[in-house]
């Protein structure tokens, strides 16, 4: 019973942290996560403070913690002919600032820069030498914004990729592929405010890991059924020969 209570409390704590947008890892002032598919479609998740959306992206969102956040207005800011907003979270607080999460679907990642909140970025998705190649170049914020009074410049900005297939090459500064084919590019907030560019390049196999897994599973299943059928045939044949000799 005591173990059950401990597990329940741990689960509640983990869920609370996730719902607050904090997670158990590094904390970011502004984070773009791209979940890319092999056909070029993607889901993009933005986790950011409202001051970061205002200063870095020039969006008309309230930075005063006492002013109500209109999530319908945030949705409108991210809606465009090339994007569809599927979720805008309730704000949460960290270090005196309010944060929010926006989830967006885009049918063609190459057109995402046509949406105003992503206009600082150029996206490319090509096929070169039999590999799928993704490139992303993040430019400067609009109008060289001044730092928000609550920042010290050491806050982190991140651009993360969740990739669908085996990575052949990448230029992530950490040189590491995190769990689940995740790559990350980070900048201190002062560099992002100054417009220091972020250049991302990834080369990957054109077939998704899921597709390859299903193909391998199908081949293994076919082989297993073939072996089983051969064993059944052999047993049946042996039994037939035995009955024939007895006759």
- Beta-bridge mates of residue 100: 48
Q: pLDDT tens digits for 144-196? A: 778 899 899 999 999 999 999 999 999 999 999 998 799 999 999 999 999 99
In this prediction the pTM is: 0.76
Distance CA 181, CA 16 (A): 26
β-strands 156-162, 97-106 pairing = unpaired
The CA dihedral of 19, 24, 30, 35, to the nearest 10 degrees, is -80
**Residues 6 or more apart whose Cβ sits within 8 Å of residue 66:** none
Tokens of residue 110, six digits: 């190459």
pLDDT at 229: 65
What is the per-residue pLDDT for 20? 44
Question: 147: Cβ–Cβ under 8 A, 6 or more apart, which residues?
Answer: 55, 153, 189, 190, 193
Q: Which portions of the chain are predicted below pLDDT 50?
A: 1-7, 10-23, 209-223
Beta bridge partners of 85: 104
Sole residue written with tokens 């509640």: 12
**Alpha carbon distance 126, 72 (integer Å):** 35
The residues, any chain, with a CB within 8 Å of residue 46's CB and separated by 6 or more, are 30, 31, 32, 33, 78, 101, 102, 104, 117
pLDDT at res. 142: 86
């Amino acid at each position: 019973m005591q173990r059950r209570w401990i597990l329940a409390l741990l689960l509640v704590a983990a869920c609370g942290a996730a719902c607050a947008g904090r997670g158990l890892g590094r904390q970011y002032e502004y984070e773009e996560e791209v979940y890319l598919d092999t056909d070029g479609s993607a889901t993009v998740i933005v986790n950011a403070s409202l001051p970061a959306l205002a200063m870095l992206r020039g969006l008309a969102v309230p930075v005063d913690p006492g002013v109500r956040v209109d999530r319908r207005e945030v949705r409108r800011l991210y809606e465009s002919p090339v994007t569809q907003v599927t979720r805008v979270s309730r704000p949460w607080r960290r270090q005196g600032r309010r944060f929010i999460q926006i989830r967006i679907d885009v049918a063609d990642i190459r057109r995402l820069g046509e949406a105003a909140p992503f206009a600082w970025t150029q996206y490319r998705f090509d096929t070169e030498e039999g590999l799928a190649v993704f490139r992303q170049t993040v430019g400067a914020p609009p109008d060289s914004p001044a730092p928000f009074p609550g920042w010290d410049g050491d806050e982190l900005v991140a651009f993360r990729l969740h990739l669908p297939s085996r990575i052949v090459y990448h230029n992530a500064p950490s040189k590491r592929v995190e769990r689940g084919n995740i790559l990350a590019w980070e900048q201190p907030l002062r560099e992002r405010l100054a417009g220091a560019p972020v250049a991302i390049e990834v080369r990957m196999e054109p077939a998704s890991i899921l597709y390859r897994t299903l193909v391998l599973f199908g081949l293994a299943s076919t082989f297993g059924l073939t072996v089983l059928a051969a064993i059944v045939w052999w047993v049946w044949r042996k039994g037939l020969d035995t009955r024939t000799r007895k006759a």
